[in-house]
Amino acid sequence: MDTTQRADYERVAAAIRYLEAHQQEQPSLEEVAAHLHLSPFHLQRIFKRWAGISPKRFLQFLTAEHAKRLLAESHSVLDAAYGAGLSGPGRLHDLLVSVEAVTPGEFKARGAGLSIACGRHDTPFGECLLAVTERGICGLFFLGEGGWAEALAELQRRWPEARIVEDAARTQPLADQIFPPGPTGGPRSVNLLVRGTNFQIKVWEALLRIPAGQVTTYGTLARAIGQPRAARAVGSAVAANPIAYLIPCHRVIRQSGLIADYRWGSTRKKAILGWEFARQGASTVEDSPAPAERW
């Protein structure tokens, strides 16, 4: 992933934050561009290069109205996906993602005897820590305000007895596979190694059944795993997801259409969802501007 795409993401995120802070004022494209010290033309070009669509259309994807429309229309899609079963690979863009859980004995060992390599990498959504073992990816954390040190501490907390070494050369090929810089050329397989309770793993497997460009709610996810009264517990399991993006917890939103509740920040969640919506060619958004902006 080149630094241009990361820089584009940082500007897109700054635009989203500005619009959230000034929603009642309905700022224009010119006002947002001025806040970012860019020309309106340059801001349009950055959005087009990063998301493939204009900032106006990108932000339309992020309105509660659009999210609620997706929720209303996605039931049949999700029911079919969940009905296919929760074991085996789930499709994520052009990746075939499969999950392997540690055994009960390995769970109790807390990673003892396990060697984990980790590296710091650029993605379309900012920098991340990617962690891998011989059996698969065991962690993907976007870097927040605490930076690399905080992400590394989180990895160590999840695998307290494991031997962790920084080795970006080992993790780079997988980073390129997850976030390819160019055309992908067809499906590729990615294995994940997770350490969690049986309930958490069931929820994480269910998340893999949510197609890109679709969203669901905590209640729908609870029903999908056969525990309709466990929406709150499902929310906790979603929040505990140790592998961002690949296990797409960003696709779970509130019934109201509000896009929030993301451990790596609501701005990043909106950026990822908008980016996915754009790449799925969502056609349910009218060309008229959303209420929160005048572009």
The Cβ of residue 262 has, within 10 Å, a number of other Cβ atoms equal to 21
Catalytic choice (118, 128, 138, 249): 249
Helix residue spans in 179-230 (DSSP H): 198-207, 218-224
The Cβ of residue 4 has, within 10 Å, a number of other Cβ atoms equal to 12
Judged by phi (left if over 0) then psi (alpha if -120 to 50, else beta), residue 85 lies in left
- Minimal CA–CA distance to 60: which of 16, 5, 13? 16
User: Alpha-carbon dihedral of residues 165, 166, 171, 172, nearest 10 degrees?
Assistant: -160
DSSP string, 145-163: TTHHHHHHHHHHHHSTTSE
- Pairwise CA distance, residues 189 & 114, whole Å: 22
**Distance between terminal CA atoms of the chain?**
30
- Pairwise CA distance, residues 221 & 199, whole Å: 12
Residues 40/30, Cβ–Cβ less than 8 Å: yes
- Pairwise CA distance, residues 106 & 141, whole Å: 22
For 172, how many CA atoms within 13 A lie in the half-sphere containing its CB?
A: 6
Query: Residue 121: enclosing H or E segment and its boundaries?
Result: strand 115-123
Residues 216/238, Cβ–Cβ less than 8 Å: no
- Token pair for 19: 């619009």
Tell me if residue 249 is catalytic.
yes
- Residues designated as active site: 249
